């Protein structure tokens, strides 16, 4: 089997396992089973599970970034509930001590997302708020089992004048 094909199978299996069980639940053995590959194949392509994790962050971000082109601030918040958006949110909550490479990969992806939000929102402060709403909304939707959370949050993002009319603070 060609080396590129083996790596693609590993990434496909790892992405599916991480989406289903989270990063910590995606053991190397659990990734290898569906791919029909050996640990030797895994370690030929990745020096560690964290190295695979960094590549998954890049893959999830590339997919999410494709969904963010030319969208409104509300759509950018809703994108967090895409399959790749929720995978990134989950990875943010799972990286741990000693995983500096994973933290850097996540910071890069979130920084790029922040830049895209800033372009849509017009200010850094509003972009930070929107990213917090995106990440928190994805987590809330998952915990509550309520995918409509994104739609409700997006409606609030699109209606800042409503918030102001109700006397709520609005960050600009």
Q: pTM of this prediction?
A: 0.80
> Residue 145, Cβ neighbours under 10 Å: how many?
7
Write out pLDDT tens, residues 48-82.
Answer: 999 999 999 999 999 888 877 767 777 777 777 78
Nearest partner of 8 among 47, 30, 37, judged by Cα: 37
Q: Which of 43-47, 52-56, 57-61, 159-163 has the lowest mean pLDDT?
A: 159-163
Confidence of residue 10 (pLDDT cuts 50, 70, 90): very high
Rama region for 118: left / alpha / beta (φ>0; ψ in -120 to 50; rest): alpha
Q: Which residue has the tokens 């949110």?
A: 89
Instruction: Tell me how far apart the alpha carbons of residues 95 and 110 are, in angstroms, rounded to a whole number.
Output: 14
Write out pLDDT tens, residues 88-143.
Answer: 888 888 877 788 999 999 999 999 988 888 888 888 998 898 888 888 888 888 88
Instruction: Tell me how far apart the alpha carbons of residues 171 and 121 are, in angstroms, rounded to a whole number.
Output: 11
What SS3 class is residue 118?
helix
DSSP state of 69: T
| Contacts with 145 (C-beta within 8 Å, 6 or more apart), sequence order | none
Whether 162 shows a pLDDT value over 70: the answer reads no
DSSP state of 123: S
Instruction: At 119, list the tokens.
Output: 């372009």
> Residue 112, Cβ neighbours under 10 Å: how many?
14
Nearest partner of 79 among 33, 34, 116, judged by Cα: 116
User: What is the average pLDDT across 16-41?
Assistant: 90
Checking 141-147 for CB contacts under 8 A at 24+ apart, the result is: 141/81, 142/86, 142/89, 147/81
């Amino acid at each position: 089997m060609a080396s590129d094909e083996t790596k693609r199978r590993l990434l496909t299996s790892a992405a599916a396992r991480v989406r289903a069980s989270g990063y910590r639940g995606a053991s190397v053995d659990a990734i290898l089973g569906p791919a029909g590959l050996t640990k030797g194949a895994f370690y030929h392509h990745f020096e560690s599970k964290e190295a695979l994790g960094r590549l998954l962050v890049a893959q999830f971000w590339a997919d999410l970034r494709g969904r963010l082109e030319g969208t409104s601030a509300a759509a950018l918040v809703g994108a967090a509930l895409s399959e790749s958006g929720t995978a990134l949110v989950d990875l943010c909550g799972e990286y741990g001590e000693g995983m500096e490479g994973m933290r850097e990969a996540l910071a890069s992806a979130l920084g790029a997302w922040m830049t895209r939000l800033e372009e849509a929102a017009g200010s850094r402060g509003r972009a930070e708020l929107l990213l917090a709403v995106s990440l928190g909304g994805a987590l809330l939707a998952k915990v509550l089992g309520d995918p409509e959370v994104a739609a409700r949050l997006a409606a609030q993002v699109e209606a800042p004048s409503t918030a102001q009319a109700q006397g709520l603070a609005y960050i600009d």
